[in-house]
Amino acid sequence: MAGVQVRGDSMEGTLEDGDWALVDLSNTDPRQEGVFLLLVSGERRIKRVQRLAGGALYLISDNEHYQPEMIPPEQMREVEILGRCEVRIGRIS
């Protein structure tokens, strides 16, 4: 497990800016779906991941103000799934 601090509002509703997510680094299989920590073109992202037919990935933000992003199979070399987010630690307001 590793902890990462959430920055931004793209996963608002599930993860808030400033929350911590505990990531299971041994769980990198997107076929089970869920929220994953990814490295996309050198940028860390936390997104809901779905594997599509043909090997593409669909990256979904829980904040409806952000459009889903499809990573086609030919761009998969730019994507590394680092682990599945398992636990959220957030502020008490």
pLDDT tens-place string over residues 30-69: 888 899 999 999 999 999 999 988 889 999 999 999 999 9
pLDDT for 53 equals 83
Instruction: Tell me how far apart the alpha carbons of residues 16 and 29 are, in angstroms, rounded to a whole number.
Output: 24
CATH number at residue 78: 2.10.109.10
pLDDT the model gives residue 92? 77
Q: How far is the C-alpha of 61 from the C-alpha of 14, rounded, in Å?
A: 10
Q: What domain range includes position 72?
A: 2-89
pLDDT at res. 22: 97
Determine the pLDDT at residue 60: 97
Q: How many domains does the chain have?
A: 1
